[in-house]
Amino acid sequence: MKDLKYLAAFSIPLVAFISVYFKGSLVFLTPVFAFVIIPLLELIFPVDTKNLTSEDVDNRLKKKVFDWLLYLNIPIVYGLVFFGIYEAANTVIETYELVGMIISVGIVLGVNGINVAHELGHRQATNERFLGKALLLPSLYMHFFIEHNFGHHLNAATQEDPATARYNQTVYSFWFTSIFRQYVGAWKIQNKLLKTNNQSFLSVNNDMFWYTVLQLSYLTSVFLVFGHIGLLFSISAGIIGVLLLESVNYIEHYGLLRLKTKSGRYERVKEMHSWNSNHVIGRIVLYELTRHSHHHFKSSKKYQVLDCHDESPQMPFGYPTSMVLAMLPPLWFRIMNKRVPKEMKII
């Protein structure tokens, strides 16, 4: 039964379905559940710092159930997206209901879409990477695969990394700098990969080109079938999903920077360069993303066997709670700035 605890990650899509289906006063149930109820539960449930034994790790890696729990997100995410678009385009609803539906579906795109895409994007199997890219499509953020895998994991916790928030930078400023720099960075990485393989910009292996075509095709199809309301819904929900992702990026590395060695190069990525959280609710709902320090230490390691390291900087709250705190910069700075090592405090 412990292996099935990650079924709780489907609680957000379930609540989102209830919001979209019943509408009315329930239309904002999803953000309340994600950013009020879950943070409250994190305060109630104890922190779990236990790591698996080597035998438990081997057993978990052999069980395909952990992979299928990820794959199941694909029909759930796409089903909910098109259900939301259909309801918005074909049902008489109030403006506030449309807004609530967009936010609800957007949260699902961030948690069960981009977050799961992140996990699958680190897998070695081509089919799993394909599924990860498919989960990025509704959020219009397919370039994340390139920038994250070939950029972020190389430059994490440095000023060259768009997804590393500076000390005293607000989350609102970070949204703009990270989104813009990651997109530009993805194109630069793609062009470099093409040149390395002696291929032209117009090569069929230009993934950024195909990502653009796929995303425009998706939006065009939605517009042709569901009209301008459907298009508004799909774009707006995608934006919510992206902002959710970037809020997570913000808290994952806030203020943490790798120092340079005598040679002028950055020290290698260590457990101290990512914020870790062992709050059980956030761990389960986000497929252990909160054990982010170990993920950066060994990105190929599957979510169900990530460890907690004592040398990792620990967040006082879980990731969902921390995302709420980040929306209040003075409070966030007051809580987090004193936890950032002095030698890393570069504005």
End-to-end CA distance of the chain: 47
pLDDT, residue 2, reads 73
Sign of torsion over alpha carbons 122, 124, 128, 133: positive
- For the chain, domain boundaries: 2-344
Separation between Cα atoms, residue 97 and residue 8, nearest integer Å: 26
Which DSSP category does 46 fall into?
A: P
Extract the tokens encoding 65: 């159930």
Residue 206 to residues 129, 131, 195, 202: CA-CA distances in angstroms? 16, 19, 11, 7
269: Cβ–Cβ under 8 A, 6 or more apart, which residues?
153, 156, 157, 258, 296, 297
Which DSSP category does 47 fall into?
A: B
* Sequential DSSP letters for 310-332: TTSPBPSS-HHHHHHHHTSHHHH
b/e 25-38 (16+ beta carbons within 10 angstroms → b): ebbbbbbebbeeeb
pLDDT, residue 19, reads 98
The pLDDT tens digits along the chain (347 residues) read 677 899 999 999 999 999 999 999 999 999 999 999 999 999 898 888 899 899 999 999 999 999 999 999 999 999 999 999 999 999 999 999 999 999 999 999 999 999 999 999 999 999 999 999 999 999 999 999 999 999 999 999 999 999 999 999 999 999 999 999 999 999 999 999 999 999 988 899 999 999 999 999 999 999 999 999 999 999 999 999 999 999 999 999 999 999 888 888 899 888 889 999 999 999 999 999 999 888 887 788 999 999 988 788 999 999 999 999 999 999 999 999 999 998 887 65
